[in-house]
Structure 1
Amino acid sequence: MRVNLFITLGLMLSLGLLSACEKQEKSGANAPDPTILSLALKSAVGALKPKAKPVDPRKHLTREAIDKAGTPILFVGLDSRNAYATLSPFGENRGVVTWISSDGITLGYRGGLLVATRGLGPDLMAADTGQALAAVRSGSGSYVRIYDYLDGEDQAVRRSFVCSVKNKGSEVIEIYELKLTLRKVIESCSNPEFQIRNTYWISNRNRIRQSKQWIGPDVGYVFSQQLSR
Structure 2
Amino acid sequence: MKPLLASLACLVLVSCGVLGGGQGDNASTAAQALNMLRGGLFNRGDDAAPPQFTATRASLREAGITGPVLVARIEALGISAGLLQYQEVRGATVWRSLDGDTITTAGGLLRNTRGFGTDLHSLETAPLAQALSEGGATEYSRLFRGLDGLSQVETHRLYCRLEPQTRERVDVLGRGYDTQRYQETCNAQDRPVPIFVNTYWQGAGGTIWQSRQWAGPDLGYVELEEVRN
TM range (shorter): 0.7 to 0.9
Which gives a bigger RCO, structure 1 or 2 (Cα 8 Å, sep 6+)? 2
Match in the other structure for 1:144: 141
1:55 Cα deviation (Å)? 4.3
Question: Could you list the runs of 5+ residues in structure 1 that have no partner in the other structure?
Answer: 1-10, 17-33
Aligned residues: 193
Say yes or no: does 1:72 pair with 2:62: no
TM-score by length of 2: 0.75
Say yes or no: does 1:170 pair with 2:167: yes
Say yes or no: does 1:35 pair with 2:31: no
1:103 Cα deviation (Å)? 2.8
Higher strand residue share: 1
Residue 175 to residue 15, structure 1, CA distance change in 2 (3 Å): farther
One of 13, 16, 30 as aligned partner of 2:34 = 13
Mapping for residues 103-182 of structure 1, pairs under 5 Å = 103-137=99-133, 138-182=135-179
Match in the other structure for 1:223: 223
Answer whether contact 1:146 1:160 (CA < 8 A) is retained: yes
Q: Return the alpha-carbon distance in structure 2 between the equivalents of residues 112 and 144 of structure 1.
A: 18
Work out the percentage of aligned pairs sharing the same amino acid.
29
Residue 83 to residue 36, structure 1, CA distance change in 2 (3 Å): closer
Task: State the AA in 1 paired with 2:93.
Answer: V
TM-score by length of 1: 0.75
Answer whether contact 1:72 1:88 (CA < 8 A) is retained: yes
Answer whether contact 2:41 2:59 (CA < 8 A) is retained: no
Moved segments of 4+, more than 4 Å: none
Answer whether contact 2:172 2:210 (CA < 8 A) is retained: no
Q: Aligned-residue CA RMSD in angstroms?
A: 2.5
Answer whether contact 1:67 1:228 (CA < 8 A) is retained: no
Q: Return the alpha-carbon distance in structure 1 between the equivalents of residues 139 and 98 of structure 2.
A: 38
